[in-house]
Amino acid sequence: MERQVEEESNSRAVTILLRSRTRLLVCFLTLPLYIAAVWALLSNGREVGALMWIYIALYSVFAIDMVRRCCPSCDEQFFVKSILLNLLTKRCVHCGEDGYSQRN
């Protein structure tokens, strides 16, 4: 019974981890839209400062959220081994816990 509760808790933690990763991926994937919007605004002679600050703030919030997430097994940062953020991994960079197998 206790093991089942622990597995359910780990499953929720991994789901939150993967959601934070997905948010940052969406931010990266919308970069071409951001570039097109800046290009269109500059072509029309409009100010782009506010749009740039919003995008930078959004990226910063998502990146900090992703970096601060810890692995439920080893309590180390899930996506950061030394100083670089590993955006592509689906496993803990320290203990190798697989996020997808824990969820299912």
Instruction: Convert the pLDDT of each residue in 84-102 to its tens digit.
Output: 777 777 788 888 777 555 4
- Judge whether residue 77 has pLDDT over 90: no
Output the average pLDDT for the chain: 82
Can you give the pLDDT at residue 89?
Answer: 78
pLDDT surpasses 80 at 27: yes
Question: Is residue 10 predicted with pLDDT exceeding 50?
Answer: yes
Helix 2-29 to helix 31-43 angle (10° resolution) is 30
Distance, in Å, from the CA atom of 5 to the CA atom of 50, rounded to the nearest integer, reads 46
Does this model's pTM top 0.75? My answer is no
Cα torsion 89, 94, 57, 22: sign: positive
Asked if residue 94 lies in contact with residue 101, where contact means CB atoms within 8 angstroms, the answer is no
CA 82-70-103 angle, to 5 degrees, is: 125
Residue 58 has pLDDT above 60, yes or no: yes
